[in-house]
Structure 1
Amino acid sequence: MSELNHVPRRPLIAAFLSLCCGPLGQLYAGRGKRSVTLAVVTLVLMIVAAPIALWIPGGHVSFKLLMFAFACWPVFLIVDAFQCARKARQQRLHWYQRWWLYPLVFLAYLGPVSLISELRTVFIAEAFLIPTGSMHPTITPGDRILVNKLGSRDDVIDYGNVVVYYSKGPGSPLYVTRVVALEGDTIEIRDESVFVNGKQISEPYAAFDGELPTYPNMVSMQPVVVPPRHFFALSDSRRRSMDSRMLGPVPIDYFQGVASRIFWSRPRQIDFSVSPENSQIGAIAWERIGMPIR
């Protein structure tokens, strides 16, 4: 391997390069093999992070530990790059330690990072911020949730699942509500009690805060048979939401994923007497972080 004249490596520059582009700082410090290894590890972590976050057992504590571990990885890269550069101050430069090569490496690294991020969002999991209280108390305004996109629609749409779907087709606003009936079921609402196939279902998650609504079907609804390849979904906050009572059964093709877990929460207090959009952001709700959505 050819060598260039010695130029001192600056630890702060190495740390900055790793802050901007992962293991680029190690490359700057002359640790080529280490840089490639850490780049591969970073890409692998990007792939496995979402599935692990969706399915990790143990509730709040294990999820918080997982978040802490993933948050420590970029910090490790920065500190490691700083240390590598400090130790390499008296070494000669390698062929890859050229200023014009660093932007090329950055672009080459950015490609797979962007591709993995896009594929992960489309096929594995996507994060959403919940701005309204339609699913309160299960999901509160200000919660950030992970939506599981793995599995076929026919397999994951099931009774009781909290699902994300397009309200009126692709490109329309996304709704988050709970599945209460599937194709072929007959659903009826009597005085806010839900009956599926003639039997009242247990709904410990349902909330009935606020004034009794006057909109048709909100309190009582005549029997409806769910068509093939559709499902019927209701919000947990029954008096302050828009769901299948107004929009009708949801086509399976509108389905986007199953709400799996709350990964961040900073609740918003909504003043419904003024406007549903009028809210105040509160403190971080640590007790909600990692909570499975059921």
Structure 2
Amino acid sequence: MPGVGIGGRIVAESRFQSLNSEYFGSVPDVEMTSTKPRRAWLAALLSLLGGPLGQVYTGHFGRGVLLWLIGTFLLPILWFLTVFLPLGRVGLMLLLLCALAFPIYLAVDAFLLARRNSGGPLKRYQRWWVYVLLFLVCVVANRAVTYAVRSFVAEPVVQPVRAMSPAIQAGDCVLIEKCYSSAERLRHHDIVAFRSDGLDSPLYVMRVAGLPGETIEIRNERVLINGVQWHDKCAVFEGPLSPHVDLANYGPLKIPSDCFFVLGDNRRVSKDSRLLGPIPFVDFYGKVRMIYWSQARVFPDPGDTSHYLPGPIRWDRMGTRLD
């Protein structure tokens, strides 16, 4: 009967497709004409270059993407904890170890996957243009995460001059917190970063000496706040006073309600509010939390801080908290 013949053919085709899927995998994921072996060294190299590329190259797309997502969001979390928790050198070393260990883990994982699966049919996503596309996606995503961390969590900045010495020395790289910092929450002795002339001006790093509404005055290098001497144990007075401007005396001045007053610890060489005036809240950039790297700078001409020679790395200063 015609109906039986058609039904038998349908059943036969169904059984053939079932056997085909059982032995060769589903049709959309497998291309049976390609049986190139996976090179272990190339899988490891691809992981070092582009996150999940090594795992995708070995045919483990989901595993590669999952590991890459874990690594992408793990480092910002560790960065956040290092900035806000009092971990010091321990937290900094943990962050560095994770930053180095995770790419190595991805490379080793891809290498072992390739060794265990050295041959077999290629899946449809194992194509050169897929690798290029994934590489571009990884680059864009990593840049986006880096931008978000620098904009909303913390930003690294190099202190180029000696205005805050000895607390922050020339060549110290500091982390500026930008997550919870606000000018309205400043306190005396806080070390802050700010701009003096809008977005195009360089960043200054100074210590808060006066808050809104306070009257500040400097007499013979002694700081008076509302008529009471302010004892700043971090201040140093090295070298001669400038003959061009009187830095030993200032004010009295009542600080406006939307400004704060800053001084450098190295009082005789610091360009601070004695020259810049009170700093508006809108120029506040963030609060300095810690030193994460330090390399000395040698100035052949002490009066010219724009030219210097790199000095030794100061390992003992790394991880120093400033809050």
Tell me how large the CA RMSD over aligned residues is.
Answer: 1.8
Once the two structures are TM-superposed, the CA of residue 155 in structure 1 deviates from its matched residue by: 4.5
Task: Indicate the larger mover: 103-112 or 281-290.
Answer: 103-112
Q: Which residue in 2 is equivalent to 1:255? A: 284
Q: Does the 8 Å CA contact 2:75/2:95 hold for their aligned counterparts? A: no
Give CA-to-partner distance per residue, 1:197-223, whole Å, 9 cap, x none: 111111111121211223434111121
Q: What is the TM-score when the length of structure 2 is the normalising length? A: 0.85
Once the two structures are TM-superposed, the CA of residue 85 in structure 1 deviates from its matched residue by: 2.2
Structure having the higher helix fraction is 2
| Consecutive aligned runs of 4 or more in structure 1 exceeding 6 Å deviation | none
Q: What is the TM-score when the length of structure 1 is the normalising length? A: 0.93
Once the two structures are TM-superposed, the CA of residue 192 in structure 1 deviates from its matched residue by: 1.1
Q: Does the 8 Å CA contact 2:235/2:267 hold for their aligned counterparts? A: yes
Matches within 5 A, 1:109-148: 109-148=138-177
Q: Which residue in 1 is equivalent to 2:7? A: none
Question: Are 1:25 and 2:54 counterparts?
Answer: yes
User: What is the identity percentage for the equivalent residue pairs of Structure 1 and Structure 2?
Assistant: 36
Give CA-to-partner distance per residue, 1:21-51, whole Å, 9 cap, x none: 1122111122212101111102211431321
Q: Does the 8 Å CA contact 2:181/2:286 hold for their aligned counterparts? A: no
Matches within 5 A, 1:65-76: 65-76=94-105
Once the two structures are TM-superposed, the CA of residue 289 in structure 1 deviates from its matched residue by: 0.8
Q: Which residue in 2 is equivalent to 1:278? A: 307
Once the two structures are TM-superposed, the CA of residue 233 in structure 1 deviates from its matched residue by: 0.5
Q: Does the 8 Å CA contact 1:207/1:238 hold for their aligned counterparts? A: yes
Matches within 5 A, 1:1-294: 1=26, 2-4=29-31, 5-273=34-302, 275-294=304-323
Structure 2: runs of 5+ lacking an equivalent: 1-25
Distance 2:97 2:185 in 1: 29
In structure 2, the CA distance between the partners of 1:105 and 1:65, relative to structure 1 (3 Å rule), is: closer
Q: Does the 8 Å CA contact 2:183/2:284 hold for their aligned counterparts? A: no
Comparing both chains, which one has the higher relative contact order based on Cα–Cα distances under 8 Å and sequence gaps of 6 or more?
A: 1
Distance 1:152 1:260 in 2: 11
Q: Does the 8 Å CA contact 1:60/1:289 hold for their aligned counterparts? A: yes
In structure 2, the CA distance between the partners of 1:167 and 1:272, relative to structure 1 (3 Å rule), is: farther
Once the two structures are TM-superposed, the CA of residue 272 in structure 1 deviates from its matched residue by: 4.3
Task: Indicate the larger mover: 132-141 or 104-113.
Answer: 104-113
Q: Does the 8 Å CA contact 1:156/1:258 hold for their aligned counterparts? A: no
Give CA-to-partner distance per residue, 1:139-161, whole Å, 9 cap, x none: 11111111000125245422111
Once the two structures are TM-superposed, the CA of residue 92 in structure 1 deviates from its matched residue by: 2.9
Q: Which residue in 1 is equivalent to 2:4? A: none
